[in-house]
Chain A
């Protein structure tokens, strides 16, 4: 087999121009596939970062039944702020932080302007360990600190004609259903990075607990992970500390289904696009191998005459094609990977117009396993593409092949 491999290798470099054209097609196909996958990984990481590290946290703990009735933002499905439980959660390897929160519907008023919004009450010191990006989305003023205060989306501020430093009135139904109010200073405004954040405000937890008559209680514990994509793996450890039937634990991809749907669509689209690119490249391989077979009919006849068996002829041409796929794949994957590494190091700034002070960086990335997969795909694909030409060669009758002109 090694001897046939050596011959296959020499045959690959025999017609250099044709081999290079075929390998170039694979180079482009695999290079584009790897490059797009790297860009897509960066995009999805950015998406996940924006969702997980700006708002949700990688995991959330609620009172059992809360997520099923999340549309109503129920305050009665609450839980005590248990420092011992929070400490245990923070001690799980891979957990970066755990922060208590309350989500509640609220009316926001300034002078004659009132709008409805979704409020989120947080303990800033802990919250920023769970969602470090939350402080970075502030476009005017400052993030929340230790003093009772609120920040809101720029759209909300515009709707009630509020400026930084203004006193804002918040009206909300408390834990018992009674309407209650509070005045808080607006210290900052932000531009959300995910849909729906334009109708939100964030306030300090203590002030919200007073407004909602929920002293010492919250509706949610957000958990930040060092690697947000490990949420599924760490969910059981979190559930062991906050067990059913009292609590329920959800991962970010369960809570933000629209994001996972978008990512699934992107992956499917990329898969189809990669397949088409590869198919075009492999069509060229079929053509190249057919030409190689037709050019070497007498040679095939000679090899058969001296005792080469059909299986060996088949193997020879499959090896030649596989080698072209391997070399083209290595070159394409290498070039694509180099581009991804460079762009990943440099970063791509996706800040939208008007958000120049909000850096939304995309860092393309690729695991080595994907590079190996791409090279393997090119090699196996090239071998599959050569099945017909190789079969055609192996089925030749030696006497006819030897007489071929």
Chain B
């Protein structure tokens, strides 16, 4: 039996640009089940990042309902959202976004260190060590971000996203700044974490080589889900491949 980790119902997002209203999302319905490995595909400006920002509690929708593990998110204040991001969601960014003054271990530990309900220091260290080892960062624990390659930095970001043992990891174009070989390694790592630890991944990408690894592809265009099922039910592989091919 599958459990929905997130449900979006009729989500819209409008931006005011001068006198113009930009409709970034136009009524998105989407359900992600626990343990899914889902790619969010679409051209630039299609609304992928906006959708990920709303799912990541970084932004609020203009209208619609957003449930995270069955809990409505709309009424939460800034600090509540910060706590949800801290405890339930892991982030992997296109530009890695590590904190430059912290070394690998400290970057990985960081979400645990700033948590409202802090874990014991030994537990934080254990989790950080495990997360770092899981992404193959063992030899680089004392390195600062500027001493690492792009692929290594993204591994740090993945370890940081995993350290709080979140229900959901969101990755916004995680391979966009990496060469193809490193991209393959990072996607393989994400897949392995999904398979072995049951971590739910939702990632946006342009990269067709990455999409082929996704078990589910949601295609978004002009602020709407245009292809791929909204509820995670099995799709016609052809439709997905066509979407990928485009």
Contact = CB atoms under 8 A, between A and B. Distances in A.
Contacts of A399: 53, 58-59
Contacts of B87: 307
A306 B160 contact: yes
Interface stretch (A7-15, A45-53, A62-70, A156-164): A7-15
Given A398-B58, A399-B53, A308 B82 contact: yes
B82 A307 contact: yes
A305 interface: yes
Interface in A124-158: none
Interface in B96-117: 97-102, 110-111, 113-116
A299 B79 contact: no
A312 B114 contact: yes
Contacts of A312: 114
Given A3-B114, A298-B97, A310-B79, A305 B102 contact: no
B29 interface: no
Contact of A4 (B53, B95, B114): B114
Contact of A306 (B53, B85, B101, B116): B85
B47 interface: no
Contacts of A398: 58-59
Contacts of A7: 99, 101-102
A309 B82 contact: yes
B99 A302 contact: yes
Interface string B147-184: 00000000000001000100000000000000000000
Nearest to B102: A7
A6 B59 CA distance: 29
Contacts of B93: 302, 305, 402
Which range holds the interface residue count of chain A?
20 to 34
Contacts of A298: 95, 97
Contacts of A397: 59
Interface string A262-306: 000000000000000000000000000000000000110111111
A4, A303, A310, A402 — most chain B CB neighbours (10 Å): A402
Nearest to A302: B97
B115 A307 contact: yes
B86 A306 contact: yes
Contact of B86 (A3, A299, A307): A307
B42 interface: no
B223 interface: no
Contacts of A310: 78-79, 82
Contacts of A307: 82-83, 85-87, 111, 114-115, 164
Interface residues of B, number: 28
Contact of A305 (B56, B79, B101): B56
A10 B102 CA distance: 8
Contacts of B98: 302
Contacts of B111: 306-307
A301, A302, A303 — most chain B CB neighbours (10 Å): A302
A306 B85 CA distance: 6
A93 to B, nearest CB: 55
Interface string B53-88: 100101100000000000000000011001101110
A309 B79 contact: yes
Contacts of A304: 58, 82, 85
B91 interface: yes
B82 A14 contact: no
Contacts of B59: 397-399
B41 to A, nearest CB: 21
B100 A305 contact: no
Given A304-B82, A307-B85, A14 B58 contact: no
A306 B58 CA distance: 10
Contacts of B91: 305-306
Nearest to A316: B114
Interface in A306-339: 306-312
Interface of B: 53, 56, 58-59, 78-79, 82-83, 85-87, 91, 93, 95, 97-102, 110-111, 113-116, 160, 164
Given A303-B114, A309-B116, 16 more contacts: A3-B110, A11-B101, A14-B100, A299-B99, A302-B97, A302-B99, A303-B99, A303-B110, A305-B91, A306-B91, A307-B82, A309-B78, A310-B78, A398-B58, A402-B93, A402-B97
Interface of A: 3-4, 7, 10-11, 14, 298-299, 301-312, 397-399, 402
Give 4 closest A-B pairs by Cβ, nearest first: A307-B86, A10-B101, A302-B97, A399-B59
13 contacts: A3-B113, A7-B101, A10-B102, A301-B97, A305-B91, A306-B110, A307-B86, A309-B78, A309-B114, A309-B116, A312-B114, A399-B59, A402-B97
